[in-house]
Amino acid sequence: MSTSTAYHHGNLRAALIAAAEALLEKAGLEGVSLREAARAAGVSHNAPYRHFPSREALLAAVAAAGFARLAAAMDTAEPGSRAACRAYLGFAAAHPALYRLMFGPGLSKDAHPELRAAAGAAMRPLRAISAAGASREAAVGVWALLHGLAVLLADGQLADDLAARPEELAEVALATYGAGLRAAAAAPGSG
Amino acid sequence: MSTSTAYHHGNLRAALIAAAEALLEKAGLEGVSLREAARAAGVSHNAPYRHFPSREALLAAVAAAGFARLAAAMDTAEPGSRAACRAYLGFAAAHPALYRLMFGPGLSKDAHPELRAAAGAAMRPLRAISAAGASREAAVGVWALLHGLAVLLADGQLADDLAARPEELAEVALATYGAGLRAAAAAPGSG
DNA sequence: CAGTCGATGTTGACACCGTCCACTCACGCG
DNA sequence: CGCGTGAGTGGACGGTGTCAACATCGACTG
């Protein structure tokens, strides 16, 4: 903002992340190009390389910012609560392409440590579920249920009338799974 | 059919699909290129256009073939059974990149009708669940659970010791969800 | 059996992309 | 005031998807 001497952009890094995210939502992952982002930021096609060593690094930064926003969205809710799950699903429905980028392959968390940190922080509210006493496998089930709904929504695999009410879906599915968890706790080892 | 005079390949279409699938498993979706597939099939970089109007069309054919194989894998099991679910998850674990291509975005089922047909046929064994009396939302829950586990496995998001036993995960998660469905049927409207 | 024709492959071209390189510009430090 | 360094520029290279024009083979026709 303040420093804009026409030659030096002033805040290119943030501008590129914003441009890349806009491209991501508009044209999907394959539609995000370094050159297009640079164009949108009003700089030459090579300027991004001063801030990101590769296209993948820019995408990792976009994903990390996404995790931060996801964490913020869940932050107002009780960790592990139904509200947190609803916020999670709402985020996925509102930013499908970003959600896919965050949880998809292609962005190795080993190659981008900042990504691992951001993801870990964002997932904490969900990990509270397994801390609440459920077995590890059962807790994975909750995450899988949530993630499965999120991905089905993000990829448009659900019938339209169902996709229109993501919160209701989450409510029913989580209530069902929760009832199953309680039943298993009451009568363990039943088959 | 059996015409292979060195100029005419004879079965280029199938060869390209096979090559693309090999590339997909080896280098991921972005690593699949028409030119590379053509190279692998021993033809010029433009020959694929005689069989597929675009790269996306080739990918759609690969995905359709994948659906056919998934259907075959589930075919030996009772529709809607636990075994069918295990076969589903086993397929996803065995061919992660292919599974992502099949269910990911970027392959519009409107643009590729054959894909829609193949997917519909493959999903029939799973739809048997909702036909078995569960509500639509609850049935979506089963698919979401399964799909969520599949995607988490395919994208390597699960801890290694959990990812090593996909069938056990499916068993626990599905048993839990099933118990919840039975509980909900016994005491509808509980909160 | 000669001639033609459509399906199949080839060669060449274009625009776009990610990335490497050498260069330039603006600013701050001595 | 000179100069070094980080930020941005311009050009180049190889790779890609795609279009257009051309070549070739096999089958059908007379």
Instruction: List the domain boundaries for chain A.
Output: 1-52, 55-185
Average pLDDT over residues B145-149: 94
Percent of chain A whose predicted confidence (pLDDT) is above 90 = 61
Looking at CATH, the fold of the domain delimited by A55-185 is given as Tetracycline Repressor; domain 2 (1.10.357)
Give the Cα separation of A40 and A19 in Å (integer).
Answer: 6
Task: Give residue B188's pLDDT.
Answer: 66
Q: Which residues of chain B make contact with A178, given a CB cutoff of 8 A?
A: 180
Judged by a CB distance cut-off of 8 A, whether residue A144 touches chain B is: yes
Closest CA to B22 of B48, B47, B58, B46: B58
The integer distance in angstroms from the CA atom of A54 to the C1' atom of C18 is 8
3-state helix, strand, coil in chain B (%, to 5): 70, 0, 30
Give the Cα separation of A130 and A140 in Å (integer).
Answer: 8
Q: Which of residues 101-120 of B touch A (CB under 8 A)?
A: 103-106
Whether B56-186 and B1-52 are alike in CATH topology: the answer is no
pLDDT single digits (tens) A9-54? 779 999 999 999 999 999 999 999 999 999 999 999 999 999 999 9
Specify the 3-state DSSP secondary structure of A50: helix
The integer distance in angstroms from the CA atom of A3 to the C1' atom of D7 is 13
Task: Give residue B7's pLDDT.
Answer: 61
CA-nearest residue to B148 within chain A is A148
Residues 6+ apart with CB under 8 A from B160: none
Looking at CATH, the fold of the domain delimited by B56-186 is given as Tetracycline Repressor; domain 2 (1.10.357)
* CA dist list (Å): A76 to A83, A89, A130: 9, 14, 20
Q: Which residues of chain B make contact with A175, given a CB cutoff of 8 A?
A: 180, 184, 191
- Name the residue type at position B37: A
Instruction: With residue B147 as reference, give the H or E element that holds it.
Output: helix B136-154
What is the reported pTM?
Answer: 0.90
* Other Cβ atoms closer than 10 A to A191: 4
CA-nearest residue to B105 within chain A is A155
Q: Has residue B11 got a pLDDT over 80?
A: yes
Judged by a CB distance cut-off of 8 A, whether residue B155 touches chain A is: yes
Place of tokens 């590129």: A16
* Other Cβ atoms closer than 10 A to B166: 20
- Name the residue type at position A15: A
- For chain A, the C-alpha Rg in angstroms (whole number) is 20
Torsion angle, CA of B154/B160/B165/B168, rounded to 10 degrees?
-90
Judged by a CB distance cut-off of 8 A, whether residue A162 touches chain B is: yes
CA-nearest residue to B116 within chain A is A157
Task: Give residue A191's pLDDT.
Answer: 41
Protein residues with beta carbon less than 7 Å from any atom of strand C: A 5, 7-8, 32-36, 45-46, 49, 53-56; B 7-10, 12, 38, 43-47, 49-51
Give the Cα separation of B176 and A140 in Å (integer).
Answer: 12
Q: Decide: B165 and B172 in contact? Cβ < 8 Å.
A: no
Q: Has residue B39 got a pLDDT over 60?
A: yes
Looking at CATH, the fold of the domain delimited by B1-52 is given as Arc Repressor Mutant, subunit A (1.10.10)
Q: How close is the nearest chain B Cα to the Cα of A182, in Å?
A: 8
- Name the residue type at position B81: S
